Amino acid sequence: MIHTKALIIGKDLRPRCFWCGDDEQYVAYHDLQWARPVMDDIALYEKICLEGFQAGLSWLTILRKRESFRKAFRGFDPKIVVKFNQQDVNRLIKDESIVRHQGKIEAAINNAQATLEVQKEFGSLATFIWGF
């Protein structure tokens, strides 16, 4: 791997941002998702939640757990997550495949409610976010 100030040249000889290193999952995220506009409300809600879970951790940690998060949070459908109750919070706190922080779990549930409210007022979460 060749390093420049802000870029690295990957094993496939493609230049990438230095932060993705050579981890296959990080490289795939960099190449296929990072800095690409997202217009789907469920995908945006997922991003909001995962960013919350990432606080204090590396993004790679979250990427490695993303499929587990998707399963645990029922595909990040806010219409489903908004119905989560204390029993669900307790289930998630015991789920070793995700970040088991009660405050972050409760924030994801709260963000489902906020997402639905934004959708009601603005038509979609994407319309609201991309309106700035």
Where are the chain's structural domains? 2-32, 41-129
What residues act catalytically?
A: 29, 51, 59
Closest C-alpha among 101, 125, 96 to residue 113: 125
Element (DSSP H or E) covering residue 26: helix 24-32
pLDDT at 1: 58
The per-residue pLDDT for range 22-78, each reduced to its tens digit, is 899 999 999 999 999 999 999 999 999 999 999 999 999 999 999 999 999 999 999
Q: What does the pLDDT average to over 94-112?
A: 99
93-115 average pLDDT score: 99
Radius of gyration from C-alpha coordinates of the chain: 17
- For position 28, what pLDDT does the model report? 94
Q: Please give the pLDDT value at position 101.
A: 98
pLDDT at 97: 99
Give the CATH class of 41-129.
mainly alpha
